[in-house]
Amino acid sequence: MAITYLKKSPKTSSTDDTKTTGIVQDLLKDIEKTREQGCIDLTKKFDKYDGEIVVSKERIEEIKKTLDQKTKDDIQFSYERVRKFAEAQLKNYGQDFEVELSNGLYAGQKLVPVNTAGCYIPGGRYAHIASAVMSVTTAKVAGVKNIIACSPPKEGVGAHPTIVYTADLCGACAAGVVVGGKVPVVITSRSDEAQARLASIAAAVVALD
C-alpha cells in the first residue's frame, strides 16, 4: 500500500548538506585567520551584540546586587548539592573503576588530569544555569587550575546575568561571550601559547591573575 502524506516538509535533515558544509568550513577557516577579532565581528553580525566580550568584575558585582534573591537561592541550592556530590566522588573514587549495573550494562570512571577546562554554557532561548553548575563546580573540586566559562550573548545584554552569577559562584576564573560554530574553534585551539589559547576561549584577550 502506497504511503499518502497529508503534509510533508520540503526539506530533510540531509538537504543541502554540501552547501551547509561549505559555509561552515569557510567560517572556520576565517576564524583561524582573524582569531579574536573574527569572533567579535561574527558576534556583532549574528547575535547583534557589540558590548564587552570578557565579563568585568564590575559587571559581576552589579549582577550580584541586582539579581533577585529567589534566583540566587535556587542557584545556591543547586551549587551546594553538586559540590557535595563532587567532593564525595573525589574522596571515594580516587582511581579508575568499572561496575556492571545490570546484565551487560557497564559504567565506570577514568581519571585524566587536565590544567584547563573550557565550559560552554548554553544561553540562547533559556539560561542553562545547571550547565554552569555541573561543569564549573566539578572542575573546581577536581583541582583544575584554569576554568573558563563561555556563553552566548543576548542582544544588548551580553551573557545572561544568572549564568554570569552562577559561573562566578562555582569558581570560573574567567567568563566570556562566544557562540555557535566559534565554540569548538576557540576552546580547542592549540596553535598558540597557553595564554593566547585562554584568550581565544573568551573570544578576547583574557589576563588571568
Cell of 198: 585562554
Question: Could you give the C-alpha distances from 176 to 87, 162, 163, 191, in angstroms and in order?
Answer: 27, 14, 11, 20
User: Model confidence over 134-150: pLDDT tens digits?
Assistant: 999 999 998 898 888 88
Domain 19-201 annotated CATH 1.25.50.10 = no
Range list of H helices, the chain: 17-47, 57-66, 69-92, 129-132, 138-142, 161-170, 183-188, 194-201
User: Model confidence over 65-100: pLDDT tens digits?
Assistant: 999 999 999 999 888 877 876 777 677 667 777 667
In order, the DSSP letters of 92-141 are H--S-EEEEEETTEEEEE-----SEEEEE---SSS--HHHHIIIIIHHHH
Task: Give the CA dihedral 5, 9, 10, 14, nearest 10 degrees.
Answer: -110
Average pLDDT over residues 153-181: 78
